[in-house]
Chain A
């Protein structure tokens, strides 16, 4: 078995030697450089753009603005990408209207990067500002149901029972408002696009994207090109976390310039400009819980309002988790979006769940404190055995094992219940925990495979590699199916010339693309078996795929003593130099829709708080995950580590700060927007509990990119409460809030 075992990344060597090439690192002999000019006001109109000084510099080729950009597609539909929310997408350089601070208003193109950057500083943008609104509390009343259209968004389920009455009647109640600010993804690789104009005029585009197909289709629709004129090739992405789900404006600008100038163009955003892209929305939530004195939940109300822009209704699944995670007869879940004069948010790692669980799992901890119950015991008392909102079973749910094994590893039973009861020298120690949940999804994907007589297998699908280990696990799946060493397999991705795959997001690559790889390998198995049956005295006559195994580069009967027949011999006998297959894996909806399928986690955290300074240090974390079958424990652990690190950032550090006077994110750099650094991250203990699931997809995997972060912020806030007796309901928990 190749899957299920730890395996080094097959692209590891490329990554440690600097050979892995990212979007902004492709070149062409005729390459020129574009630098973006953004606006400084949040709302208003461009009165005039004066680019004369920039254009006067030798080597500056053009300054593109709304005044000289060509008229392109006029319907919103053409600008809407595969995962766009409802509304009218941004059309860069379309007209004089300014909709948010940081909106791109010009692209300066020059022979060198330095010259383009210098010239960009010479472009004068004269604007007429209009009043703007960037305060969420002031538009909360305008919150509305999001416009339809965003893929993956499900409106909250209908209320069950009578939550408000049950809440009023409950002997024990907690109710509070939780808030977190806008948060920017900040992948280490800035967004970048290199457009290479080929000799025949076709475009080869290297774009930082989580879906090459999405970028290709967007370019085709917006510029009126056919899919054979545009190829998007992105073998490596330097982190996405959702920021690359939608085509970003540098793609549009680079293509525009390349077409107008008939030159290859590269546009790389600055770190500052990374804060002009989407973000996890600023969200305020109210959670009210009512319980019996024994802890049984009687009522659960969860209301959330997240911000969106004025031109699109970004939305995410914030509250549905609250209806599914705990057994409760009376629930009311509500969600709305409220428009601000900011750019549209975009999915960020575990979108919605991160937000909802931060509030829900804080509230559960508050309830445990009100009841004087152990927080883990309270969760077990209300453990849901079925999905009450959809009245259907879980396809699998090993959350109880996460609680048990995680608690044992952490030593949870040694926790003293009362807040402020644990100390280490001058420091207050706090132990907190929370639950995580994320949906297991599968989307249609395709793969092709070519097996050559020398025993090498080439498998390909237009998926992506943003860091989860796609190259590696796909190679493992293929190697296992055909009994080949992993070194004999080459997996190729990130190219629209390959069979289409779902966008890399939502933790669904392993399930979706993995299933396609499985399917194409099964097709090869089938062909090989057929060929083997034509060999003289074939031991496989009359046998099906269930009767045989592929092992050690050969085919043999599952039972019996017959010798294995090498794949090479089968192909030689058939006179074949190679064997090609293509396959599509589509989810078995008839079966899957009878179940609810989620990944779960239990996360346990120890913090130390220095009350004199207000500083919080995370001392250790145990994350116990039920994520179905684990294909590669090594890369799987890394995904969870990454999620936990994101959770630490969200809880204690990250904050895209708005200056409401300017209507702008002002800490737009990595010195002031704090992401966790080495010194912020302790030992993180990841454990995967056994979980079998033959419903979710043929591989039984649930995806791991999101689950690691969900619940972490609440676990840390709960630990801070345990350490200090202070409940912080507004993230991040910075020292000013503890002093």
Chain B
């Protein structure tokens, strides 16, 4: 019989949306499942669990990653930002506001991933044209087909940066 890993847990420390958490996690728990099942942060979505859709995108130390492809224990000491951590209180992140302004979602299921991915994209600073946005956002699928509006929303959020 294979060993059951559920019983043995590891102690890790994670900063999640600014709060420092000390957690006992099973080694087989992904960062995605930790967020959704243990921490109740269901804003981060599971679309495939295989790194193929981007719905689970979160920021780890400011870098966008697919949280379904990362075991929680691999991120000991890291700082994680999920969609729940983008707004400052009532004030939405400029990208969140831009998504609303441009109707950049329909069902909303891909949206948290698109948003976190877009935050990561802006931080990377590699995109300045719409085609570059399209290319660098292509890991985030949207079955509702909100793509043109997502590109427009990211463009809006990028604009102040462009003119700076």
Contacts and interface: CB of A to CB of B under 8 A. Distances in A.
B145 A646 contact: yes
A428 B28 CA distance: 51
A55 to B, nearest CB: 12
Given A239-B107, A678-B137, A188 B101 contact: no
B124 interface: no
Contact of B82 (A8, A18, A21): A18
A637 B4 contact: no
B145 A12 contact: no
Contacts of A241: 143
A18 B107 contact: no
Interface string A677-696: 11101011000000000000
Contacts of A22: 42, 45, 109
Contact of A113 (B1, B4, B37, B115): B37
A16 B106 contact: no
Interface residues of B, number: 64
A15 interface: yes
The interface residues of chain B, by DSSP majority, are classed as loop
Contact of B100 (A12, A185, A239, A466): A12
Contacts of A17: 43, 83-84, 86-87, 92, 96
Most chain A CB atoms below 10 A, which of B2, B45, B108, B148: B108
A684 B147 CA distance: 10
The interface residues of chain A, by DSSP majority, are classed as loop
Contacts of A113: 33, 37
Nearest to A636: B103
B133 to A, nearest CB: 7
A675 interface: yes
Contact of B144 (A8, A16, A239): A239
Contact of B47 (A15, A190, A236, A644): A190
Contact of A670 (B28, B52, B107, B134): B52
Most chain A CB atoms below 10 A, which of B43, B84, B103: B103
Contacts of A67: none
B14 interface: no
Given A16-B83, A678-B151, A670 B105 contact: no
Contacts of A425: none
A18 B60 CA distance: 17
Nearest to A238: B109
A12 B105 CA distance: 8
A272 to B, nearest CB: 9
B107 A237 contact: yes
Contact of A118 (B28, B44, B149): B28
A21 B43 CA distance: 8
A675 B100 CA distance: 24
A177 interface: no
B58 to A, nearest CB: 11
Interface stretch (A56-64, A225-233, A439-447): A56-64
A679 B134 contact: yes
Question: What is the interface residue range for chain A against chain B?
Answer: 35 or more
A638 B107 contact: no
Given A53-B1, A114-B28, A670 B141 contact: yes
A115 interface: yes
Interface string B13-31: 0000000000000101100
Contacts of B29: 114
A16 B138 contact: no
A381 B124 CA distance: 54
Interface in B139-159: 139-151
Nearest to B48: A271
Contact of A114 (B26, B110, B141): B26
B100 A8 contact: yes
A669 B50 contact: yes
A471 to B, nearest CB: 11
A363 interface: no
B160 interface: no
Interface string A365-389: 0000000000000000000000000
A690 to B, nearest CB: 22
A672 to B, nearest CB: 9
A189 B144 contact: no
B40 interface: yes
A271 B52 CA distance: 10
A594 B4 CA distance: 68
Nearest to A185: B143
Contact of A188 (B49, B53, B86, B115): B53
A593 interface: no
B131 to A, nearest CB: 8
A113 B44 CA distance: 17
Interface in A5-37: 8-9, 11-22, 24-25, 27
B75 interface: no
Contacts of B115: 16
B64 interface: no
A467 to B, nearest CB: 3
Nearest to B152: A683
Contacts of B28: 114, 118
Contacts of A8: 100-101, 103
B135 A679 contact: yes
A94 interface: no
B50 A645 contact: no
A679 B150 CA distance: 12
A641 B146 contact: yes
Contact of A642 (B48, B87, B106): B106
Nearest to B4: A57
Interface string B78-106: 00001110110000100010011101011
25 contacts: A8-B100, A12-B99, A17-B86, A17-B96, A18-B43, A19-B43, A21-B42, A58-B7, A112-B26, A185-B143, A238-B109, A239-B106, A241-B143, A271-B47, A271-B48, A645-B145, A669-B52, A670-B48, A670-B50, A670-B53, A677-B141, A677-B147, A678-B147, A681-B134, A681-B145
Given A466-B107, A679-B138, 8 more contacts: A9-B103, A27-B40, A188-B143, A240-B107, A670-B48, A670-B50, A676-B147, A681-B134
Closest 7 CB pairs of A and B: A18-B43, A645-B145, A238-B109, A467-B106, A15-B108, A467-B107, A642-B145
